[in-house]
């Protein structure tokens, strides 16, 4: 993560957005503000964000839809802003891979505190230098290839997306459901077993590249998978 975490703020009410931008920038965050879901997703494709704050009620699509599409390209933490005390929004939001939610009205300080807490929780290596590679894997976004110690891996599309999700947050344990949500366009059509099969295949490809060396993907029994963090 960068020294000044970059936050994507998606909020269509200028007054709320202004106070949040001010509060976050005061606390040394860099903020990109989008008024619509479409603008937010366009920014997400181009930008290198560490965090997203998504208002649920947007003019062109819901924040939930923004999150679903964001999850196809990014594993960054998501905080939802919800106008009503909408239980359904909360449940849906967290199922879609959101990390937390705040109900309006809120204080900007509360939002900053939540963002900090979630970043601490989801990125235990935030204090290490950005130059230090957390694993021996390298992602080349332009060619959409993942390299292991310089050797490009021959991955299927789903294996690629799956490994990319794990690589975005080394050390974080992802449940099979989270991996399905983030690496499959239509997670309903596949099962937990599918994730296991793909992980097995990725491991064998990694082993082949590394000459049978260590296992980069760790199984947390009863929980899920995580990418092993190297010091
Ligand atoms: Ca709104």
Instruction: Give residue 10 CA to ligand 1 midpoint distance, Å.
Output: 9
- Per-residue model confidence (pLDDT) at position 124: 54
- Per-residue model confidence (pLDDT) at position 127: 41
Kindly report the CA angle at 184 between 179 and 189, in degrees rounded to 5? 105
Among 122, 153, 180, residue at a domain's last position = 122
- Per-residue model confidence (pLDDT) at position 2: 52
Judge if 118 and 145 occupy the same domain: no
Instruction: Give residue 56 CA to ligand 1 midpoint distance, Å.
Output: 6
Instruction: Give residue 60 CA to ligand 1 midpoint distance, Å.
Output: 10
Residue 63: closest CA among 47, 79, 85 = 79
Judge if 182 and 206 occupy the same domain: yes
Instruction: Give residue 113 CA to ligand 1 midpoint distance, Å.
Output: 21
Judge if 37 and 64 occupy the same domain: yes
86/212 Cα distance (integer angstroms): 51
Judge if 113 and 23 occupy the same domain: yes
Instruction: Give residue 39 CA to ligand 1 midpoint distance, Å.
Output: 14
Instruction: Give residue 83 CA to ligand 1 midpoint distance, Å.
Output: 7
Instruction: Give residue 82 CA to ligand 1 midpoint distance, Å.
Output: 8
Instruction: Give residue 13 CA to ligand 1 midpoint distance, Å.
Output: 6
- Per-residue model confidence (pLDDT) at position 230: 63
Query: Which residues in the chain show pLDDT less than 50?
Result: 125-134, 213, 231
- Per-residue model confidence (pLDDT) at position 131: 37
Total tally of structural domains belonging to the chain: 2
- Per-residue model confidence (pLDDT) at position 133: 40
- Per-residue model confidence (pLDDT) at position 39: 96
Residue 163 belongs to what domain range? 130-227
Asked whether residue 57 is assigned to any structural domain, the reply reads yes
Residue 86: closest CA among 115, 57, 120 = 57
Asked whether residue 1 is assigned to any structural domain, the reply reads no
Judge if 70 and 177 occupy the same domain: no
Instruction: Give residue 54 CA to ligand 1 midpoint distance, Å.
Output: 9
Judge if 73 and 111 occupy the same domain: yes
Judge if 137 and 220 occupy the same domain: yes
pTM over 0.85: no
Judge if 14 and 97 occupy the same domain: yes
Asked whether residue 14 is assigned to any structural domain, the reply reads yes
């Amino acid at each position: 993560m960068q020294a000044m975490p970059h936050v994507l703020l998606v909020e269509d009410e200028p007054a709320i957005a202004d106070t949040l931008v001010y509060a976050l920038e005061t606390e040394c965050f860099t903020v990109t503000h989008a008024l619509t879901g479409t603008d937010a997703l366009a920014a997400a494709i181009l930008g290198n964000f560490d965090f997203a704050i998504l208002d649920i009620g947007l003019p062109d699509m819901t924040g939930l839809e923004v999150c679903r599409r964001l999850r196809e390209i990014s594993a960054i933490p998501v905080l939802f802003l919800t106008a009503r005390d909408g239980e359904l929004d909360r449940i849906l939001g967290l199922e879609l891979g959101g990390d937390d939610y705040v109900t309006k009205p809120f204080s900007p300080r509360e939002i900053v505190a939540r963002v900090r807490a979630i970043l601490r929780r989801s990125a235990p290596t935030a204090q290490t230098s950005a130059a230090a590679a957390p694993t021996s894997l390298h992602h080349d976004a332009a060619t959409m290839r993942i390299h292991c110690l310089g050797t490009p891996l021959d991955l299927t599309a789903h294996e690629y997306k799956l490994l990319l999700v794990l690589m975005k947050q080394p050390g974080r344990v992802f449940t099979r459901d989270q991996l399905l949500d983030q690496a499959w366009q239509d997670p309903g059509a596949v099962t937990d077993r599918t994730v296991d099969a793909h992980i097995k295949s990725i491991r064998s490809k990694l082993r082949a590249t590394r000459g049978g060396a260590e296992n980069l993907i760790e199984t947390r029994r009863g929980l899920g998978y995580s990418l092993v963090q190297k010091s």
